[in-house]
Amino acid sequence: MGCNVRFSGFSEGVLRRTQLFELIASGVKIPCEDGVLIADDCQIGAGTLILPGCVIGAGCVIGEDCVVGPSSVLLDTTLGDGVEFLQSWAEGAGVESGAVVGPFARLRPGAHIGREVKIGNYVEIKNSEIGQGSKVPHLSYIGDADMGAGCNIGCGCATANYDGKRKHRTQLGSGCFIGCDTTLVAPVTLGERVYTAAGSVITQDVPEKTLVIARSRQVHKLDDRC
C-alpha cells in the first residue's frame, strides 16, 4: 500500500503523452518522453530540463531553469529555481534556488537544502537544515542536524543521531569545517567556525573558533619479526 501511495497520480498511455506535450508547450524541456513519469498535479517552471528515466510524483513543485535527471526520483518535493538535481532521490524534501544535488544523493523526509548548497555523490540527508552555501560533497550521512551557512563537511562524516532509544540533534554554527571521517555524536553543539581534525569523534560541545582534535595518538613500535 505504501508504494502505491508514494507512486500515485500518474496518467497512462495517451493521457501521459498529452500531459508531457502540454508541459513542453509551456516551456519545459523534455527531449525524450520515453521513460518519463510525471504525476498529474506537479508544477514545473519554464526552462526546466527533464532528462530520461525521471519519476516525478504527486505534490512536487519544480521551479524554472532546473535540470532534473537522468533517472531521478522526486516525491512530494519542492525545487527552487536553477536547481541541478542529478541522478538522485528525494522524498518529502525542499531544495532552494541554485543548489546542486547529486549524482547519487538521497534526501529523506524533512531535509531542507538552502540556497547554493552542494550535496554531492553518495550523501544522505535526513530531517536536517543545511544552511546557505554549505557543502556536503561526498560519502556522508547528515541526520537530525541544523547546519549554519558556509560549512564544509569532509568525506566520510556522520552524525551519530540515534542512541538505540531516541534520536538526538546536532547543531553546527556557520563556517564550520568538519574534517574527513569525523563522527559527531549527538546531542552535540559546535559553535561558529569550528574545525575538527580528520578522524575525530566529537562527543562534547565545542566553542566557536576552535580546532578540536579527538583521536588516539599515533604510535610506532618496532617489530623484531620483520
Catalytic residues: 138
Half-sphere exposure of 33 (CA within 13 A, CB side): 14
* Residue that has been written with the C-alpha cell 495517451 in this structure: 14
Tell me the residue type at 52: P
Which positions ≥6 away from 192 have C-beta within 8 Å?
A: 148, 173, 174, 175, 176, 208, 209
The CA-based angle 128-130-133, given to 5 degrees, is: 175
Q: What Cα–Cα distance (Å) separates residue 118 from each residue in 102, 197, 212?
A: 8, 22, 25
Tell me the residue type at 53: G
